[in-house]
Amino acid sequence: VNKSTLPGAADSLPRAAGSTGNGPGVALLCAGGAMPLIVAEEARSRGQELFLIGIEGLASKGISAFQHEWIRLGQLGRFLDLVKGRGIGHVAVVGALARPHLMDLRLDIGAIRRLPAVIRVMGGGGDDALLRRLIDLVESREGLAIVGVQDIAPGLVIGKGALGRHAPDGRHLSEAQLGRELIAALSPFDSGQAVVIMDGRAVAIEGVEGTDAMLERVAALRASGRLRAKGRRGVLVKAPKTGQDMRIDMPVIGPETLRLAACAGLSGVAVQAGGVLVAGLAATRAAADSGKLFVQGI
């Protein structure tokens, strides 16, 4: 997607202030966690017109502060009607979404009409494989364009350099590089996007449990003496998988990541510049500074 063609984007048209009356430019499909609201607020502050569609049971009630509707998982027909009925051509997907079972979905008539495609989407493979097939379905068969968070809220993408007061030393930067190489080596297996490197080796690798649980594991391994590193050491490295579609499932760090990294006794967090989102820039920077951790885009 060429950003300059994005209707309603801050650096194109129509802005909220100078709206042509064509309705919001981008539909934001909101899943779980804090990110949908953080993204919506950041996009609104840039003048981006948004229509939020919350997934029941997942999305925060806070979306009611925006133009919004609710859908249940499986209501593909209602989702498409809501978007197309408003003349919206661009959709972003934000938030945590555990892979559902096809049998748990309450498919609506629009989903049942598209059942062969839905079943193909729900096939095997990891979360990325599922989301990629969903995007293919929506883009190729429904004429909608999927855009990424970086298109509607570019201020949430971490750039190169230090985010807060602290900076990595040469050893931290080598460990960050090792972590990036490990994440790249794991990419074909559609697994995690995070690893903890300490004393030159990978001590924890993220699977389905997620980054927070992995950091709690490192804290427990140190508390029990199973990991005998002393003092502040080790780097959490987060990066998208090689070849990842950056419109979906971009890695995220936030204040809670920093809090858990401090509990795990790490020295800091290194992320791929341009490839990782921040769940609130000011709050994340404050958590890094107060935890004496660096956050470095590399």
Specify the residue, 169 or 209, whose C-beta has the smaller distance to its own copies: 209
Whole-number Å distance between alpha carbons of 208 and 129: 14
Q: What does the DSSP assignment read for 24-87?
A: -SEEEEE-BSSHHHHHHHHHHHTT--EEEEEETTTS-GGGGGSSEEEE-TT-HHHHHHHHHHTT
CA distances from 167 to 115, 239, 267 (A): 52, 18, 10
Specify the residue, 206 or 249, whose C-beta has the smaller distance to its own copies: 206
CB 196, min distance to its own copies, A: 8
CB 143, min distance to its own copies, A: 30
CB 150, min distance to its own copies, A: 25
Q: Give the residue ranges of DSSP H helices in the chain.
A: 35-45, 76-85, 109-113, 115-121, 127-136, 142, 149-152, 170-186, 211-223, 255-263, 281-290
CB 98, min distance to its own copies, A: 7
Number of C-beta neighbours around residue 64 at 10 A: 11
Looking at this protein, which amino acid is placed at residue 26?
V
| Cα angle: 19, vertex 146, 251; to 5 degrees | 110
Specify the residue, 157 or 236, whose C-beta has the smaller distance to its own copies: 236
CB 186, min distance to its own copies, A: 7
3-state secondary structure of 236: strand
Specify the residue, 12 or 187, whose C-beta has the smaller distance to its own copies: 187
Specify the residue, 28 or 107, whose C-beta has the smaller distance to its own copies: 107
CB 207, min distance to its own copies, A: 4
Residues of the shown chain interacting with its own copies in the complex, contacts defined by CB under 8 A:
98-101, 104, 124-126, 129, 178, 181-182, 185-186, 188-192, 196, 199-209, 213, 217, 221, 225-228, 230
Specify the residue, 93 or 218, whose C-beta has the smaller distance to its own copies: 218
Pairing relationship of beta strands 277-278 and 252-253 according to DSSP bridges: parallel
Number of C-beta neighbours around residue 61 at 10 A: 9
